[in-house]
Amino acid sequence: LGRVAHQVAICMWGVEEVQMFAAIGMTARLLGSGSAEQGARRYRTARELQDLLVGAGLTNVETCELDVTAAYVDFEEFWRALGRQVGPAGAWLHGLDDHRRALAHDELHKQLGSPSGAFELHGRAYGARAAGAGGRTAVGDAADRRQA
């Protein structure tokens, strides 16, 4: 037999709190090519995640911040990763013609501080977890199993 934990957990990147997203967003605005994160800005703060879960009838909502760092050997490593077309930023880059992609390369390099070698980018994600309405938490279930 298995028991359901009756919990929901979600995690979303911040937007301005992620150096990569901020630099890509500024590059897109300066090129006049629209936003790389168009339509992807909901539920990007701890408060928005909390409101989402409470609005869904969940209880005991807890939120947290998760800080991360990504290291790159150089800007070209970062650029190649972006060129793999992952997420809204990769889709934005893929939608540019060759000329605008070259402009984006140079502007994004500038927005990231013109790194000439290894560099790091920092970011923050927001997480939240909650119990189902009237549900028991996984912690409570584990305590019950130990007592049995």
Instruction: Give the DSSP letter string of 38-86.
Output: TT--SS-SHHHHHHHHHHTT-EEEEEEEEEEEEEESSHHHHHHHHTT--
CA 78/CA 82 separation, integer angstroms: 6
Work out the mean pLDDT of the chain and round it to a whole number. Answer: 84
User: Chain centroid to CA 9: how far?
Assistant: 15
Question: Residue 28 burial by CB count (10 A; 0-12/13-18/19+): exposed, middle or buried?
Answer: buried
> What tokens does 98 get?
């060759």
DSSP secondary structure letter of residue 93: H
Confidence of residue 34 (pLDDT cuts 50, 70, 90): low
Condensed to tens digits (0 to 9), the pLDDT of residues 88-109 reads 888 889 999 999 999 999 999 9
pLDDT at 135 over 70: no
Whether the model pTM is above 0.85: no
Residue 3 clears pLDDT 60, i.e. is over it: no
